[in-house]
Amino acid sequence: MLNGKTILITGGTGSFGKKFLEMILDNYTPHRIIIYSRDEFKQSMMKANYEKKYDMSRVRFFIGDVRDRDRLYRAFDHVDYVIHAAAMKQVPVCEYNPFEAIKTNIHGAQNIIDAAIDRGVKKVVALSTDKAVNPINLYGGTKLVSDKLFISANAYSKISGTKFSVVRYGNVAGSRGSVIPIFKNLIKRGDRELPITDSRMTRFWITLEQGVELVFKALEESSGGETYISKIPSFKITDLANAMLPEAKFKEIGIREGEKLHEIMITKDDSRLTYEYEKHYIIYPHFEWWKFDEAKVGNGVKVQEGFEYNSNTNNEWLRINDLKNILSLNCV
């Protein structure tokens, strides 16, 4: 699928971009991989670290911002696939800098779409978040608009043939936005009390590897307009804390601004357009121009109307021992 292809990833120096690069180089022989990001220091560090393990002759580092339309047009020249991972994603930062979040997450998405169509990119997969579902903060609101832009872009790309799809998941275990590094640092310095925003809080558990695999799935089979969601287990924040520090004491500090008690990936309203597959769900678009019979993937089964994919009502759970085993294997 990706052999001999040129792939560009925006925000490529982040947690996802690094894992994506590893899995591409481990499993495929692409023509070229372009890491597109703003931070020259992160790019130089990433290059130095990966040169120790990989032949980096096929990897290019491209300084650029998704806000810069002209730079994207230059970067997308002769690119086959684009993975859009760049975003302003820290909820408090977005709340305090709303216009900057709009410039990156919404205007940046539009720039990606225009450049991809005009440069003849074959497929674009945009990374989304649970926070785009029933958003209660500015970050989620901007990502909801971004998702809508990418899905609707398929109506404008018939001539060029560019296909746009979305991959949605929550906080990735061990990534920069995860609570795991916070707990690790507190435990390392000897703290016996861990801060918990709310003892009722639940989250989905997805690893970077699972996130990359879902992007591969979308690249392989999407017809344009789909939103992919992994079938993954849930866990309680208190169980995670106990797995990392047995018999830990908790200090409830209250839910932070823009934070949800539980993650939702699929709403009840989405259920009318959602199909279940072995390892994931797909939400199909609802447009007059979208031909479901021609574009539906595989043998998915339509979910029951009113179904909601919620971390609090999930059928699969990680308990304390499960989390201990995962953490002991250095999976995060």
Other beta carbons less than 10 A from residue 221's beta carbon:
14
CB 207 within 8 A of CB 332: yes
Question: 15-27 vs 208-221: helix axis angle to the nearest 10?
Answer: 60
Give the residues across from 234 on adjacent strands. 204, 317
* 131 a catalytic residue: yes
Cα–Cα distance between 278 and 175 in angstroms, integer?
Answer: 26
**Tokens in use for 261?**
């008690």
Name the active-site residue from 123, 131, 143, 217.
Answer: 131
CA distance linking residue 321 with residue 234, whole number of Å: 14
Give the count of beta carbons closer than 10 Å to the beta carbon of residue 122.
16
Own/partner long-range contacts of 267-275 (Cβ < 8 Å, ≥24 apart) = 267/133, 267/134, 267/308, 268/305, 268/306, 268/307, 268/308, 271/303, 271/304, 271/305, 271/306, 271/307, 271/308, 272/305, 274/302, 274/303, 274/307, 275/300, 275/301, 275/302, 275/303
Find out whether 149 and 141 touch, Cβ atoms under 8 Å. Answer: no
Which amino acid, residue 126? A
Number of neighbours of residue 330 by Cβ within 10 angstroms: 7
> Ramachandran region of residue 302, left (φ > 0), alpha (ψ -120 to 50) or beta?
beta
Asked whether the beta carbons of 5 and 166 are under 8 A apart, the reply is no
Comparing CA positions, the residue from 142, 154, 152, 64 lying closest to residue 106 is 142
Q: Which residues are catalytic?
A: 131
